[in-house]
Amino acid sequence: MNGKSDVLVIGAGVIGCAIARELSKFKIKTSLLEKETDVGSGVSKGNSGVLHTGLYYPKGSLKAKLCVEGRLMFPELAKQLDVPYKFCGKHVIARTEEELEDLEDLKAVGEGNGVKELIIISGEELKKREPNLDALYALHSPVAGIFPPYLFTIALAENALNNGVKVHVNSKVSAIKQVNGGYKVTTNQGDFYADLVVNSAGLYADKISVMVGLDNYKLYPCRGEYLILDKTCGDLINSMVYPVPPKIAGVLGVHLTPTLDGNILIGPTEEFINEREDTKTTKEKIRQLIEGAKRLLPSVPLNQVIYGFSAVRSKITPPEEKGSRDFIIREDLENFINMIGMESPGLTSSPAIAKLIVQMIKKKNDLEEKTDFNPIRKRTAPFSEASRTEQASLIKADPAYGEIVCRCEHVSKREVLDALNNPISEKTISAVKYRTRAGMGRCHGGFCLPKIVEILKEEYRVPSEEIKLKSLDSSLFIGKTKDLRENEKSD
């Protein structure tokens, strides 16, 4: 028995976490359910990590409104939550005179949505700002930004938790029943009761909706693949670089995104798929990414690719429509709020979506603000971001800062221990990775994995076979050495 909440949010992606955090400002009981071992396990971690400006969405749409609002809310929120970000700006580049028209269209749409400071610059001007790019024209938006989406999601969830939200990972919803004007939500961790349910299940939002009898939504999973370039490439571009959007599926096309850590992301592709969980990468799309990157940045050093990944978008628009329908956010059933088709710009919009949901709830219920809400959340100070003298002070105060566990990203044992001790997730390798960057570098865990395994075994007494990569079924080891030989003997 998990007790009764006033509001229960299903799905701890960035939007679910933002809603939970917004609700934690009020004197109500909020629960957040997540089927995976950690928050932000789906598309919230597998995206470009871009703070969008609002160039692409039709005026008056929820996407346009919430994207612009969300971006404006972001800096203050990021400051409170100790999430790094940077307004590095973006360039949409045109290689032909015809594409110039596309830039003008984008500029007009953007301005209609209230985006300021949009300018179209010449190829020469672009060359001054981005010496490695070649184009005839570029649309420049200085207010586009970058940030690590997983850190943001984790920060929202941790801050929500610190303000009283109950966060349940490994809790997969299997049934929802209306009871006494509220809902009974059945999961593998038992039943949860709530007066109001927010369906923030992302890629599974249609299935959750069906559980309350609303079978009018169908989501079309659309996979996006990425490649990551080594930090040695960080100087190649200063801003995000986009092509003119291809006129398919309402996507932005393969683009280049510099990350705060100095890598470059190439992607995403788009490909409608049948299985929602099918986050594989494919030969064809890897080739497409390479070609796309070369078109934007001819000198892109493809021998510096360090990893590839993919995630799946939840599209409400059928493939044949070749467009992008608006977000659906509405109370489809008494005290049951559906959010369907929460694709890009969902990340940028998330703070504004959270506000919108709270307004919807406020209309029906008296929400009393807490006086002791603490908006501040600090992450463990990252060793790599400190100056040399700060690093010296960190180690002096805590010798665990002096033991470097991840050689590529200079992540210290202190950060790894704090990540393993985080209040939300299972103690997985992935939980460490997304909190600290250990394993995200060029050696891809070659150095840190054995060290983290040792920490799990020595300091947390986790048996070998229970050490997981990410999900509960992703055991890294089948046991201890000699186990197989012992079994052979007893057979």
Partner 1 sequence: MTELPSRDVDLVLIGAGPAGLAAAISAKKNGVQNVVIVERNGWLGGILPQCIHDGFGLELFKEQLTGPEYAQRYIDELKELDIPCMLNSMVLEVTPDKKVFVASPEGLVCFNAKALILAMGCRERTRGQICIPGTRPAGVYTAGVAQNLINLKNVMVGKDVVILGSGDIGLIMARRLTLEGAKVHAVVEILPHTNGLPRNIQQCLIDYDIPLLLSYTVTEIHGQNRVEAVTISPVDADLKPINGKEQRITCDTLLLSIGLIPENDLSKNFGVKLSPVTGGAVVDETLETSVSGVFACGNALHVHDVVDFVTLEAEKAGKSAAEYILGKTRKVERIPVEAGDGIRYVLPCSIRRGADLELSIRVTCPGEDVAIGFFDGETLVKTKKFRKVHPAQMIKIKLKGSETSAINSLKVEVLGK
Binding residues for partner 1 (CB under 8 A):
227-228, 232, 277, 279-283, 286, 303, 305-309, 383, 388-389, 391-393, 395-396, 399-404, 407-408, 410, 412, 442-447, 449-450, 453-454, 457, 464, 467-471, 473-485, 487-488
CB atoms within 10 A of CB 262: 13
The Cα–Cα gap between 256 and 166 comes to 38
DSSP 187-206: ETTEEEEEEEEEE--GGGHH
Max Cα-Cα span within the chain: 76
Contact 45, 150 (CB under 8 A): yes
Pick between residue 176 and residue 227 the one whose CB is nearest to partner 1: 227
The Cα–Cα gap between 262 and 232 comes to 8
- Buried b vs exposed e over 388-408: b needs ≥16 C-beta within 10 Å? eeebeebbeeeebbeebbbeb
Residue 60 per-residue DSSP state: T
Pick between residue 328 and residue 476 the one whose CB is nearest to partner 1: 476
Pick between residue 144 and residue 429 the one whose CB is nearest to partner 1: 429
Pick between residue 366 and residue 458 the one whose CB is nearest to partner 1: 458
Pick between residue 345 and residue 445 the one whose CB is nearest to partner 1: 445
The Cα–Cα gap between 66 and 264 comes to 27
Beta carbon of residue 135, minimum distance to partner 1 (angstroms, whole number): 27
52 is catalytic: yes
φ, ψ of residue 450 in degrees (nearest 5) = -60, -35
Beta carbon of residue 42, minimum distance to partner 1 (angstroms, whole number): 13
Beta carbon of residue 350, minimum distance to partner 1 (angstroms, whole number): 25
Exposed, middle or buried: residue 272 (CB in 10 Å: 0-12, 13-18, 19+)? middle
Pick between residue 215 and residue 275 the one whose CB is nearest to partner 1: 275
Contact 5, 180 (CB under 8 A): no
DSSP 120-146: EEEHHHHHHH-TT---SEEEEETT-EE
The Cα–Cα gap between 175 and 191 comes to 9
Beta carbon of residue 398, minimum distance to partner 1 (angstroms, whole number): 9
DSSP 304-323: GEEEEEEEEEEE-S-GGG-S
Catalytic residue among 52, 168, 255, 410: 52
Pick between residue 215 and residue 454 the one whose CB is nearest to partner 1: 454
Beta carbon of residue 177, minimum distance to partner 1 (angstroms, whole number): 30
Residue 217 per-residue DSSP state: -
Beta carbon of residue 293, minimum distance to partner 1 (angstroms, whole number): 13
Beta carbon of residue 194, minimum distance to partner 1 (angstroms, whole number): 30
CB atoms within 10 A of CB 318: 13
Pick between residue 175 and residue 472 the one whose CB is nearest to partner 1: 472
Beta carbon of residue 338, minimum distance to partner 1 (angstroms, whole number): 27
For 164-178, the three-class secondary structure string (H helix, E strand, C coil) is: CCEEECCCCEEEEEE
The Cα–Cα gap between 45 and 417 comes to 21
| Cis status, amide bond into 148, omega within 30 of 0 | no
Contact 200, 339 (CB under 8 A): yes
- Paired residues of 468 in beta bridges: 475
φ, ψ of residue 179 in degrees (nearest 5) = -135, 130
Beta carbon of residue 176, minimum distance to partner 1 (angstroms, whole number): 25
Pick between residue 76 and residue 278 the one whose CB is nearest to partner 1: 278
With both helix axes pointing from N to C terminus, report the angle between 62-81 and 346-364 in degrees, rounded to the nearest 10. 100
The Cα–Cα gap between 76 and 86 comes to 13
Q: Which residues are catalytic?
A: 52
